[in-house]
């Protein structure tokens, strides 16, 4: 993992820019609003975010020297249910390129609806480590960090959000970091896993500005990005 040192942030120091590709596309979500929120959450010193609706950028990750891909996508199925911005799925070459790049040491963050993979190849779901099943209408629920310590949840306490509660299945190989409980059933909210020499994480929270502006969500997102890029290892 690339570690850089120069500008102090949060008690750590970085010295060269980490380049992030933020891929958006699909339906139901404010993709550009999320991109603006990320620019406010991620420290400008040490990080550069490129926002795109073009999934062919996944074919050039190594060439463009990206260290992290954030997917804020919602690939709707069937077509015609909602207007689609950008692509409505990933192709096999795009998923193969992303997976191969991660396994060589890249980092991938599947944010919120990225687990809605639609008609994308099943290998995308395998890379993420889980998939979307459904969600009720937004309501207030509490996100709980698990007892096991991890840089993603360092210093986080339970916090409440008004959000879509994503009901998702996850692979046994992932490490859960946060859950919620609704009507007696526990649901995963945050997980991570190694993928070859790289790292993958998923944060199910994050439908709109009500969540993006939560200080606890912002801390969770920053710490996840720091861990994915190796910053938390320094």
Q: How far apart are the first and last CA of the chain?
A: 10
Cα–Cα dist 153/175, whole Å: 12
Mean pLDDT of 84-104: 97
Q: What pLDDT is attached to residue 78?
A: 64
Q: Residue 216, SS3?
A: helix
Tell me what pLDDT residue 80 has.
63
The predicted pLDDT at position 100 comes to 98
- Provide the edge-to-edge strand list for the sheet that holds 18-26: 47-52, 18-26, 68-74, 107-111, 198-203, 185-195, 175-182, 139-145, 159-163
> Contact, 224 vs 109, CB < 8 A?
yes
CA nearest to 26, candidates 14, 34, 16 = 34
User: What per-residue confidence (pLDDT) applies to 1?
Assistant: 32
For residue 13, name the pLDDT band (cuts at 50, 70, 90).
very low
CA–CA separation, 59 vs 84, rounded Å? 22
Q: Evaluate whether 188 touches 170 at the Cβ level (below 8 Å).
A: yes
The pTM (predicted TM-score) of the whole model is 0.92
Contact criterion met (CB below 8 Å) for 138 and 204? no
Determine how many CB atoms are found less than 10 A away from the CB of residue 104.
13
The whole-number pLDDT of residue 193 equals 98
Is 53 in contact with 25 (CB distance < 8 Å)?
yes
**In order of start, what are the domains of the chain with their CATH numbers?**
7-132+190-233 (3.40.50.880)
Lowest mean pLDDT among 42-46, 83-87, 204-208: 42-46
Query: Does residue 9 have a pLDDT over 60?
Result: no
Spatial distance between the Cα atoms of 222 and 69, rounded to a whole number of angstroms: 14
CA 151 from centre of chain: 15
Distance CA 217, CA 220 (A): 5
Q: Rounded to whole angstroms, how far apart are CA atoms 107 and 109?
A: 7
Token pair, residue 168, equals 């998702």
């Amino acid at each position: 993992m690339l570690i850089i040192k120069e500008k102090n942030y949060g008690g750590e120091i970085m010295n060269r820019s980490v380049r992030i590709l933020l891929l958006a596309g699909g339906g139901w979500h404010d993709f550009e609003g999320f991109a603006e929120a990320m620019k406010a959450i991620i420290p400008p010193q040490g990080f550069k975010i490129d926002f795109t609706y073009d999934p062919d950028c996944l074919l050039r990750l190594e060439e463009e020297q990206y260290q992290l891909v954030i997917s804020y996508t919602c690939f709707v199925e069937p077509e015609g249910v909602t207007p689609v911005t950008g692509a409505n799925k990933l192709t096999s070459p795009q998923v193969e390129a992303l997976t191969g790049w991660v396994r060589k040491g890249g980092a991938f963050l599947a944010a919120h609806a990225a687990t809605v993979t639609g008609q994308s190849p099943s290998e995308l779901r395998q890379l993420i480590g889980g998939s979307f099943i459904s969600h009720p209408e937004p309501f207030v629920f509490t996100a709980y960090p698990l007892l096991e310590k991890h840089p993603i949840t360092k210093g986080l306490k339970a916090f409440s959000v008004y959000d879509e509660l994503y009901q998702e299945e996850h692979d046994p190989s992932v490490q859960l970091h946060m859950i919620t409980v609704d009507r007696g059933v526990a649901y995963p909210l945050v997980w991570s896993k190694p993928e070859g020499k790289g790292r993958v994480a998923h944060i199910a929270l994050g439908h709109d500005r009500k969540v993006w502006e939560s200080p606890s969500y912002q801390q969770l997102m920053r710490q996840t990005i720091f861990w994915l890029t190796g910053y938390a290892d320094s």
